[in-house]
């Protein structure tokens, strides 16, 4: 749940980048970090193993400026994708306002994507979220590689709910800012609905 401070007119939202290990979640945040102006970003924190893999999470705070008269910030997190880190994933998902599911488009990652998406569903449920209500978008990453699945195949595997989706290359930076824009929009329109209730 977004933290809303009426007295100081501040909103803080949380977005989690989820997906199988090595799909490009950390690379998403690194690219955003490299592109966002100094005065709009905080320090990026990565807790990684010595093989450079996310151990607990990566964290990047962003300042969105004024939204509905509130000064608004977004905190971006990634989860470790490796199967055995499930307790950590569940913990990082707590109180999130939106999710980007980062799929690896490579043909050989088909099964890993599907398993990770099932794992997301389970962990959302365990945290008391309704997958039909939480702002969720799908990213088909690594589109710059050769042996990749068609978008249609990825949609069949992962997006039968017809969620907003984006094709990206986190390595080249294609579609990465767009991804943040799409999920940010979904989170803010969800917040607006909650405000009205
Ligand atoms: N070719 C290609 N490689 C990528 C892309 N995104 C990430 N990678 C590479 O995939 C590996 C894993 O990326 P990382 O962001 O650490 O994955 P994470 O486990 O999801 O955080 C790294 O070697 C990245 O450079 C992409 O869009 N294209
Ligand atoms: Mg990572």
pTM of the model: 0.95
- Residue 142 C-alpha to ligand 1 middle, in angstroms? 8
Residue 14: CB within 6 Å of ligand 1?
Answer: no
Lowest mean pLDDT among 6-10, 28-32, 98-102, 176-180: 6-10
Cα 5 to Cα 9, 31, 42, 72: the distances in Å are: 6, 30, 20, 10
- Which of 17, 18, 22, 119 is the best mutation target for the ligand 1 pocket, counting ligand atoms within 8 Å of the beta carbon and taking the most? 22
Is the distance from CB of 109 to CB of 29 less than 8 angstroms? no
* pLDDT tens-digit readout, 160-171: 999 999 999 999
Residue 30's pLDDT band, with cuts at 50, 70 and 90, is: very high
Q: Whose CA is nearest to atom 28 of ligand 1?
A: 142
Residue 59's pLDDT band, with cuts at 50, 70 and 90, is: very high
* Nearest atom, ligand 1, residue 81 CA: 19
Residue 30: CB within 6 Å of ligand 1?
Answer: no
Q: Where are the alpha helices (DSSP H) in 1-85?
A: 25-35
pLDDT value of position 55: 77
Q: Is the pLDDT of residue 64 over 90?
A: no
Q: What domains are there in the chain, each with its CATH number? A: 3-196 (3.40.50.300)
Q: Using the 8-state DSSP alphabet, how is residue 147 labeled?
A: S
Q: Provide mean pLDDT across the span 108-122.
A: 97
User: Which-ligand-closest: CA of 172?
Assistant: 1
Residue 141: CB within 6 Å of ligand 1?
Answer: yes
Task: Compute the distance between CA of residue 140 and CA of residue 175 in angstroms, rounded to an integer.
Answer: 10
Q: What is the dihedral of CA 45, 51, 55, 60, to 10 degrees?
A: 20
Q: Is the pLDDT of residue 60 over 90?
A: yes
* Structure token pair of residue 31: 């690219």
Residue 52's pLDDT band, with cuts at 50, 70 and 90, is: low
Mean of all residue pLDDT scores within the chain: 92
Q: Is the pLDDT of residue 65 over 90?
A: no
Residue 21: CB within 6 Å of ligand 1?
Answer: yes
Residue environment code for 51-78, b if the CB has 16+ CB neighbours within 10 A, otherwise e: eeebebbbbbebeeeebeebebbbbbbb
Cα 58 to Cα 25, 27, 191: the distances in Å are: 9, 10, 24
- What percent of the chain is predicted at pLDDT more than 90? 74
Q: Is the pLDDT of residue 50 over 70?
A: no
Residue 73's pLDDT band, with cuts at 50, 70 and 90, is: very high
């Amino acid at each position: 749940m977004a933290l809303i401070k009426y007295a100081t007119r501040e909103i803080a939202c949380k977005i989690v980048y989820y997906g199988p290990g090595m799909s490009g979640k950390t690379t998403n945040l690194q690219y955003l970090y490299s592109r966002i102006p100094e005065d709009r970003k905080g320090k990026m924190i990565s807790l990684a193993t010595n093989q450079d893999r996310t151990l607990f999470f990566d964290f990047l705070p962003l300042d969105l400026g004024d939204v509905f008269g509130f000064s608004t910030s977004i905190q971006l997190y990634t989860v470790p994708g490796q199967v055995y880190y499930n307790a950590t994933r569940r913990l990082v998902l707590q109180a999130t306002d939106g999710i980007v599911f980062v799929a690896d488009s490579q043909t050989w990652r088909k099964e890993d994507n599907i398993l990770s998406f099932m794992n997301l569903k389970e962990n959302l449920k365990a945290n008391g979220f309704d997958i039909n209500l939480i702002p969720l978008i799908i990213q088909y990453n690594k589109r710059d590689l050769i042996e990749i699945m068609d978008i249609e195949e990825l949609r069949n595997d992962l997006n039968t709910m017809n969620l907003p989706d984006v094709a990206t290359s986190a390595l080249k930076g294609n579609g990465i800012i767009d991804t943040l824009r799409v999920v940010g929009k979904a989170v803010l329109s969800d917040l607006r609905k909650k405000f009205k209730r």
